[in-house]
Chains A and B, each alone.
Chain A
Amino acid sequence: MRGKSHPGFDRLGTNGISGSHADNESPKEPFALSLSKGGRFRHGAVFSRFDLIAGLWWLPRALMLGALAFAIFGPLCNLLLWAVAEKWYFPHALPLEYGFSFWGRVFSARGNAWEALGTSVMVAGLTVLASLALAIPAGYALARLKLPFRALILLAFLIPQAFPNLPVYVNVARLFYAIGLNGTVAGVVIVHVTHGLVYAVWIATAAFAAIDRELEEAARAAGASALRAFRDVSLPLAMPGLMASAIFVFLESLDEFTGSFFVGAPDVNTLPLLLYTAGAGGNYQIASISALLLLVPSIAFMLVLEKFLRADVLARIGQ
């Protein structure tokens, strides 16, 4: 950005004239220096002309960052405003009245937020349990054991993410309808597990692969059975990675809309479905409140992602 708007400075900077590199690092400094020392300090007269421009060089960068901040937080603020707006209509720029009466209504005994939240958390919890039960043995085998067609098997778990899944959900719903799974929690969990399995298996594989093989062998040499070595050595060491995969799967399930829409609705009412029906009915307050409930865990996870997924595990994902 800067190089484009002021090519002259870049040329000076990259030619290596004394002090120019420091200018690159902190563009404010030369301006301050040249003012206080009368433009003669270090740079000499050649630079004073550029120093004035240099002093303003943070401006385009700050403007770009500001625009980006507006693009990211503007929409989020709009959602927050809707969640606490009592009255808001065109052409008023901001809500006319603020309050929490919609929160009270949504979370009242007769409101459906508690029910939707409960269903969503139950579905996501069951999805995590089922995914881990499938992914821990699979991940261990993929990371540690001799497996024919290993690369192909790893790739197979990506299929549910790599194909447009709407036509698939339509037919899953049809199949489940025939065998009585449509509109049941079990049906929704099955759909979510299949979709989230790639995270569960790939991260579990990476987590087991990142463990030092010798630790397990030492336990075996000390007389532990294979199962005991796995339970007491490998599993605890892989736990941070498995936690990360559990969180991924939990969020995938919590946020999933399309599969729940076809397989679950209207009997299994998850939070995304509540958001959709409230929004479709024009009730932006209730839609925004349920959107906020979905937003909090997503953003919290984004902020702590690096603590759970260590670099050595991250580097092995998909390998």
Chain B
Amino acid sequence: MPNSLSRHPRLAALALVTPALAMVALFFLLPLLASVVGAFETPEGPGLANFSKAFALYSRDMLFTLAIIGGATLLTGLGAVAIAGYLTLGECPLAVAALRWLYRWPLFIPFIVVGQIARSFLAKNGLMNNALIGAGLLDPLSATGMLDWRGLILAFAWKQIPFVALLVAGAMASLDRGGIEAARNLGASRPRILWEILLPQVAPSLLTALILSFVTMMSVLSVPLMVASQSPTLLTVDIAFRINAYRDYGLANALGMISLAISATVAWFYLRHSLREKR
């Protein structure tokens, strides 16, 4: 430890961290607090008017948001476990290498680009329908676009699967191979090894990754704005609409609080579950 700091080492260390912490406090925690306070602000003084208006106008979108983000999280989990499982248990080195090279591509593609990609690919005359028609799998007359709840779920999962798969595959790679080899020698099939041996051990990593995904998707504005902004839509679009069209901060903050509450509930279930595991 440097001598000059040794007289008040903890104070010096704190001084080095403080500017960065202040940044988070000033420009994240303070506005977060403002959004909580603002949700209760009404022209007639503090009250619940914003919330009753929010439920009256947007309860359908709240359920829609819950279903879409929940569905996308589920699909992300399934896809990520399948990919990570094959990376860990796959026996053909070529296929494993190909998958390892393939699955990561969307990892750093920004949501705004994902939105544009999904909008062109899943449209009625997008490349997906065109390829299916070309392969004879789809009748041109019955082709429809998927720019609704399906497009939202697919776009979110497309972007989030690599992130969750990366974390889960990392967790699986650090497990002891002995248990896997033993199960395989006893004749267990690979899906069974994945489900009964690997998955329980990497469950904490998987759940953490899925919750981070859930929260991230809850605050993405660009994808719903570009893929499906007609009603029903996600709460993020409603919040942006209240601000841009009406400057209605009260209702926007109430909707923000509701999306915060949804995320907090999910996180709370996870914390309760992981605490029970540790006991």
- Contact surface of A with B, Cβ cutoff 8 Å: 1-4, 7, 10-11, 14-15, 24-27, 58, 61-62, 65, 68-79, 81-82, 89-94, 134-135, 137-138, 140-142, 144-148, 153, 156-157, 159-175, 190-191, 193-194, 197, 201, 220, 225-227, 229-230, 251, 254-258, 261-262, 272, 275-276, 279-280, 284, 287-288, 291, 294-295, 298-299, 301-302
Contacts and interface: CB of A to CB of B under 8 A. Distances in A.
B111 A257 contact: yes
Given A10-B189, A93-B133, A170-B239, A58 B92 contact: yes
13 contacts: A14-B184, A24-B91, A78-B117, A138-B17, A141-B13, A141-B17, A148-B14, A153-B17, A160-B24, A170-B249, A193-B23, A294-B110, A294-B112
A159 B130 contact: no
A170 B189 contact: no
B92 to A, nearest CB: 7
Describe B's contact surface by its main secondary structure.
helix
Contacts of A220: 2
Interface of B: 1-5, 9-10, 12-14, 16-17, 19-21, 23-24, 27-32, 34-35, 38, 86, 91-92, 95, 98-99, 102-113, 115-121, 124-128, 130-131, 133-134, 140, 158, 184-185, 187, 189-191, 212, 215-216, 218-222, 225-226, 236, 239-240, 243, 249, 252-253, 255-257, 259-260, 263, 267
Contact of B221 (A141, A174, A261): A261
Contact of A11 (B116, B124, B187): B187
Given A72-B105, A190-B27, A3 B191 contact: yes
A275 B105 contact: no
Given A164-B263, A302-B105, 10 more contacts: A3-B190, A70-B131, A79-B117, A141-B13, A162-B212, A164-B219, A190-B23, A225-B2, A275-B116, A294-B112
A194 B5 CA distance: 28
A191 B30 CA distance: 13
A68 B28 CA distance: 39
B221 A79 contact: no
A299 B17 contact: no
Contacts of A14: 184-185, 187
A27 B259 contact: no
B222 A164 contact: no
A252 B116 CA distance: 18
Nearest to B226: A279
Contacts of B222: 257-258, 272, 276
Contacts, number: 271
Contacts of A174: 34, 249
Contacts of B255: 167
Contacts of B2: 220, 225-227, 229-230
Contact of B108 (A280, A284, A299): A299
B276 to A, nearest CB: 21
A284 B120 contact: yes
Q: Which 8 A-B pairs have the closest CB atoms?
A: A167-B256, A226-B2, A255-B110, A164-B219, A145-B13, A171-B31, A141-B16, A137-B16
Nearest to A68: B102
A3 B89 CA distance: 11
B118 A91 contact: no
B212 A291 contact: no
A79 B189 CA distance: 40
Contact of A138 (B19, B112, B120, B187): B19
Contact of A68 (B34, B99, B140, B185): B99
B164 to A, nearest CB: 15
B188 to A, nearest CB: 8
B92 A26 contact: yes
A136 B124 CA distance: 50
Contacts of B31: 168-169, 171-172, 175
A189 to B, nearest CB: 11
Contacts of A69: 102
